[in-house]
Structure 1
Amino acid sequence: MGKFTPYKHKVQYYETDQMGIVHHSNYIRWFEEARTDLLEQMGIGYDKIEKEGIVSPVLGVEANYLRMVRFGDTVTIETNITEYNGIKLIVEYRVFDEETGMVHCLGVTKHCFLNEKGRPVFLKKKHPRLHKMFLKGIENKKE
């Protein structure tokens, strides 16, 4: 498994407000798109995780808006797993303009792993294959 490719997103008209600026709520959606893409690149997409009877809810989200993004802009979203211990997962995001390279938003999401009954799951013990794939993903972070 090599380095991961950052996620790219072209801003759509419906994502903007009357001034043509991206509404703040859309960054959270972009975080999810980028995280989903990262997990798929790691070989452990949400479809595979859920097939194992595991869900990974969002426990918290932070977004620091530094600059406006406008309709028609293309942003690149770099994702980085900063913490994983088999029960908890923390992912950081860096949203920057593809053309200028300027950072527009920094974010973090926090997740856990639950079984179908809503109880915490320790992947290392209950799903060692998934656990190893997460560890490999951390080792092969994006540059």
Structure 2
Amino acid sequence: MERYRRKAKYYETDQMGIIHHSNYIRWMEEARIDVMGQLGYPYRRFEEMGYLSPVLHADCEYRKSVKFDDDIEIAVSIQDFGKVKFTLRYDIYNMSEGGVLSAYGTTTHCMLNRDGRPVIMNKEMKEFYEIMVKLKEEQENKSE
């Protein structure tokens, strides 16, 4: 998967002139949507299929501040993938600072059907499930 790239915007800064902490969570969402599109599953496709993917948990660890106009790259990987929920990891790099890891975090999701009931992905979303399992295996093999 390609990293998600963006430039830090002026309106995202706080009074100290650095990117406000809440924006990192937004960036993670942008990166997640981008990656799902790369996998052939843009969020609109999920919605057309009758599925929603709420965030069950989000966290972010801040390492080094990002400033206005810095170039950012976000690497998204699958941390955990099960039949009902999955967790994605985001590594946020500041390319304007030599690629330093500025922050990292995770989001955990499930899939819900139109009635708001949890979806068992390996049964109801077989193609998506298989793509994600294969990607997780590829990531694990790459790190060995």
**What TM-score, normalized by structure 1, do the two folds share?**
0.91
Query: How far, CA to CA, are the matches of 1:139 and 1:22 in structure 2?
Result: 34
Cα deviation, residue 140, structure 1: 4.2
- What does residue 37 of structure 2 align with? 40
Partner of 2:131: 133
Paired AA for residue 30 in structure 2: E
Amino acid at match of 1:20: G
For residues 41-92 of structure 1, the C-alpha deviation after alignment (integer angstroms, 9 at most, x for no partner) is 1111211111111111000111001111000101111110111113101000
**Cα distance per residue 1:70-120 (max 9 Å; x no partner):** 001011111101111131010001111113111110101011111111111
Q: Find the aligned partners of 2:88 and 2:58 in 1 and give their Cα distance.
A: 10
**Quick check: 1:87–1:112 contact (8 Å CA) kept in 2?**
yes
1:105 has 2:103 as partner = yes
Per the alignment, residue 14 of structure 2 pairs with: 17
Distance 1:109 1:70 in 2: 24
Unaligned runs of 5+ in 1: none
Q: RMSD of aligned C-alpha atoms? A: 1.5
Larger relative helix fraction: 2
Larger RCO (CA within 8 A; separation ≥ 6):
1
Q: 2:16 aligns to what SS in structure 1?
A: coil
> Shift in Å at residue 133 of structure 1?
2.3
Residue identity in the other structure for 1:17: D
**C-alpha separation between the residues in 1 aligned to 2:73 and 2:139?**
16
* Aligned ranges 1:1-143 → 2 under 5 Å: 4-99=1-96, 100-141=98-139
**Mean CA deviation greater in 102-111 or 123-132:** 123-132
Which amino acid letter does the alignment assign opposite residue 121 of structure 2? L
| 2-structure distance, mates of 1:106, 1:76 | 12
| Structure 1 runs (4+) greater than 4 angstroms displaced | none
**Partner SS, residue 113 of structure 2:** coil
The structure-2 alpha-carbon separation of the partners of 1:140 and 1:47, relative to structure 1 and needing over 3 Å to count, comes to farther
